[in-house]
Amino acid sequence: MRLIKPTAAVIALLSGLLMSTLAQAHPKLLSSSPAEGAAGAPPDKIELHFSENLVTQFSGAKLLMTEMAGMAHDPMPIKAKVSGGSDPKTMLITPVAPLTAGTYKVEWRAVSSDTHPITGNVTFKVK
């Protein structure tokens, strides 16, 4: 019986396919509402839409006010409820009180079935 040795090209192709499959398992932020860099009225809730279903017990977010008109300050935490949406790929951040004028940042952590945490942030302004 003769064994066939895989060529370097075949090994590279199989490795690439394996790595692309693993990379696709990480959740990616697809969109947010308000969108990154948006300016407008205070939102009742902030929605983050990901590419993968989230494991809600390991995913979460913090809402911070990073700038207030005419006032320099360190980021201030804003009380908000974080929950999953009706779509398992959505995270909802609902401020406890209406947001006042200023710049806000949502620092998020998303975990999908691969259990690898991915982090990021979204910044928006309230007029």
Provide the residue-wise pLDDT of the chain in tens; the chain has 127 residues: 555 555 655 454 445 444 444 445 689 999 999 999 999 999 999 999 999 999 999 999 999 999 997 777 899 999 999 999 999 999 999 999 999 999 999 999 999 998 899 999 999 999 9
Tell me what pLDDT residue 53 has. 96
Topology annotation, domain 27-126: Immunoglobulin-like (2.60.40)
Alpha-carbon dihedral sign for residues 53, 83, 49, 106: negative
Tell me what pLDDT residue 21 has. 43
Q: Give this prediction's pTM.
A: 0.79
- Check if the beta carbon of residue 29 is closer than 8 Å to that of residue 36: no
- Check if the beta carbon of residue 71 is closer than 8 Å to that of residue 89: no
